[in-house]
């Protein structure tokens, strides 16, 4: 791999709020599921919404150093759509200009490394996200995790870390696979996979370190969908002062991104990181932290995100993932979102852009042509609200409306710089709400009908 033109200017990992105790899985299935908690995406989150959350945080951290990314590469093994790009919804939610190229890299967990390498060569935004589903009792269920990570690549002089070495080896063998349309995947016996991966990893590590001109790295991170590789990582990769892996287990294409973000959280100026990914072969990247790493770290480290969370029960988790078929609500099914209507209201629906009157400053949500404050016509300018803080003016708790996570809570939100709108409250806890509670906007899925994902914005308590 030739030396990349760009370095990592900013980065952010995003872990959803819910946690499922592995002991609860074990108790329900009368088996051993390990210790600790599994990171769980809510019923209204998917790989696209997780990607938006991580990308927003990474772009906010980049600030004016990379005002507009050159491209957007989205890596996932669990795309919300096939035959349609999912990166375009992320592009729209971020409010990027139409000239920014956006494309999916999907199908294999190796697409996460592919997104990093492609974006390092071209500059822009690499987003890695997945929601991992495993059959009840499987290692993917107990050892998996839902997450996203985003990396902004910009000019090397502004970088917090640079790729200084890389190596990749590809080999075809049956380790893990999933038939198109299936929620859960299959895996071959892990000892077979380890036997194929071990020599590939050793060669990738040796070549990448040689490419970087070093004998060992300060931090070594090994990720793989094969548990034997991660369990024996320390003995397999003896090329660093410390060896670790993903703090949340296997997260598909996001595994490498979350592990890299955690390493960047800890790296000091001048230190090197060896990222090893054993998926469909072996990839190794060597990164060196610059003197700017301390100022460019993500706002909330991965370790703090792992520790934070809200408990979810095992039956609720199974329902959210579609593995427990519960009695549906006795209410009409939601209508499929209209393609033309969504296209006309794209700025409002995807990037939460309202309008502000040039004459009196009144903010309209959704956008309007006629000002409600002064009556001026066609005197509006775009007013993006995504990412802006707000407070609850009033709210209601509906215990009759159907929701996979009842009750449904709606809140009227007043934004700090003007604007008022009624939003559904995501990850709602009625006890945590009050008039004046501070909230933030989050991109979520309202419903799915006719195979169409109805994305919009909700609010969540800060």
pLDDT the model gives residue 156: 86
Q: Label the pairing between strands 6-14 and 147-155.
A: antiparallel
The pLDDT tens digits of the residues spanning 181-222 come to 888 888 898 999 999 999 999 999 999 999 999 999 999 999
pLDDT tops 80 at residue 64: no
Sequence-distant (6+) residues with CB within 8 A of 128 are 51, 54, 74, 75, 76, 111, 112, 115, 116, 148, 149, 150, 253, 254, 256, 257, 258
Match 């380890």 to its residue by tokens: 194
Q: Which of 34, 61, 33, 47 is nearest to 160 (CA)?
A: 61
Sequence ranges of the chain with CATH classification 2.40.50.840 = 345-461
The better pLDDT of the pair 238, 129 is held by: 129
The pLDDT tens digits of the residues spanning 360-382 come to 999 999 999 999 999 999 999 99
φ and ψ at residue 5, rounded to 5 degrees: -80, -15
The pLDDT tens digits of the residues spanning 384-434 come to 999 889 999 999 999 888 888 889 999 999 998 899 999 999 998 899 899
pLDDT category at 67 given cuts 50, 70, 90 is confident
pLDDT tops 70 at residue 40: yes
pLDDT the model gives residue 92: 97
pLDDT category at 119 given cuts 50, 70, 90 is very high
The better pLDDT of the pair 75, 64 is held by: 75
CATH fold for the domain made of 345-461 = OB fold (Dihydrolipoamide Acetyltransferase, E2P) (2.40.50)
CATH fold for the domain made of 6-176+186-320 = Peroxisomal Thiolase; Chain A, domain 1 (3.40.47)
pLDDT category at 1 given cuts 50, 70, 90 is low
pLDDT category at 334 given cuts 50, 70, 90 is confident
Sequence ranges of the chain with CATH classification 3.40.47.10 = 6-176+186-320
pLDDT category at 338 given cuts 50, 70, 90 is confident
pLDDT the model gives residue 140: 92
What mean pLDDT is predicted for residues 357-361?
96
pLDDT category at 4 given cuts 50, 70, 90 is low
């Amino acid at each position: 791999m030739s030396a990349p033109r760009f370095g990592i200017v900013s980065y952010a990992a995003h872990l959803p709020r819910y946690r499922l105790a592995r002991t609860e899985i074990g108790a329900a299935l009368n088996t051993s599921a390990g210790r600790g908690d599994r990171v769980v995406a809510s019923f209204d989150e998917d790989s696209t919404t997780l990607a938006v959350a991580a990308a927003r945080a990474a772009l906010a951290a980049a600030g004016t150093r990379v005002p507009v990314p050159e491209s957007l590469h989205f890596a996932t093994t669990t795309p919300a759509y096939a035959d349609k790009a999912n990166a375009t919804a992320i592009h729209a939610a971020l409010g990027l200009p139409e000239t920014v190229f956006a494309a999916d890299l999907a199908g294999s967990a190796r697409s996460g490394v592919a997104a990093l390498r492609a974006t390092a060569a071209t500059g822009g935004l690499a987003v890695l996200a997945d929601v991992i589903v495993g059959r009840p009792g499987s290692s993917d269920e107990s050892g998996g995790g839902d997450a996203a990570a985003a990396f902004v690549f910009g000019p090397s002089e502004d970088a917090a870390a640079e790729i200084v070495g890389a190596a990749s080896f590809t080999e075809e063998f049956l380790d893990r696979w999933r038939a198109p349309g299936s929620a859960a995947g299959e895996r071959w016996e892990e000892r077979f996979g380890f036997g194929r991966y071990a020599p590939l990893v050793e060669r990738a590590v040796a070549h990448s370190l040689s490419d970087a001109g070093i004998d060992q790295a300060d931090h070594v991170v090994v990720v793989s969908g094969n548990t034997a590789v991660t369990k024996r990582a320390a003995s397999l990769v003896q090329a660093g002062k410390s060896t670790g892996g993903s703090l949340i287990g296997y997260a598909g294409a996001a595994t490498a991104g979350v592990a890299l973000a955690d390493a960047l959280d800890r790296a000091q100026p001048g230190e090197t990181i060896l990222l090893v990914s054993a998926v469909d072969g072996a990839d190794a990247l060597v990164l060196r932290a610059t003197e700017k790493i301390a100022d460019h770290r993500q706002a909330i480290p991965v370790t703090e995100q792992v520790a934070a969370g809200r408990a979810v029960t095992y039956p609720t988790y199974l329902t959210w993932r579609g593995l427990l078929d519960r009695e549906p609500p006795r209410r009409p099914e939601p209508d499929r979102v209209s393609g033309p209507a969504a296209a006309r209201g794209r700025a409002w629906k995807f990037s939460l852009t309202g309008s502000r009157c040039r004459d009196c400053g009144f903010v309209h949500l959704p956008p309007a042509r006629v000002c409600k404050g002064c009556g001026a016509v066609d005197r509006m300018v775009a007013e993006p609200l995504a990412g802006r803080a707000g407070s609850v003016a009033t709210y209601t708790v509906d215990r009759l409306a159907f929701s996979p996570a009842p009750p449904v809570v709606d809140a009227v939100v007043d934004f700090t710089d003007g604007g008022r709108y009624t939003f559904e409250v995501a990850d709602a806890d009625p006890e945590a709400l009050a008039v004046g509670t501070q909230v933030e906007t989050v991109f979520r899925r309202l419903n799915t009908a006719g195979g169409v994902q109805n994305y919009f914005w909700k609010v969540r308590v800060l």
